[in-house]
Amino acid sequence: MTETEKMAREMSEFLRLIGDAPLNVPSPSHSTSELEFLRSLKQEYTRRLLEKVPKYRAIKSDALIPDMFLDALRRRETELEKGGV
């Protein structure tokens, strides 16, 4: 299991615990890289976050949205882009 899959599992569990549906992002396949999976996870999470907190829609860059999960996804994306594990 990759680091991103672990993150997805933990995020979904947190959402379930607060009464929301888990994230609906297909698990990566052999043809999907971890980076592609992370980006789809980040996109789905951001979409749901903006539904829950509409005031964040005024922020033009998701890099400025103050959210711990989104921040963790951004950090992991940077690691993967740089070739880190």
Domains in the chain: boundaries: 3-21+32-81
Q: Given this model, what pLDDT does residue 28 score?
A: 75
User: Which whole number is the average pLDDT over 24-33?
Assistant: 78
Neighbours of 37 (CB within 10 A): 20
Q: Given this model, what pLDDT does residue 84 score?
A: 64
Is pLDDT at 17 greater than 80 in this prediction? yes
Mean pLDDT, the chain, rounded, equals 91
Q: How far apart are CA 42 and CA 27, in angstroms?
A: 13
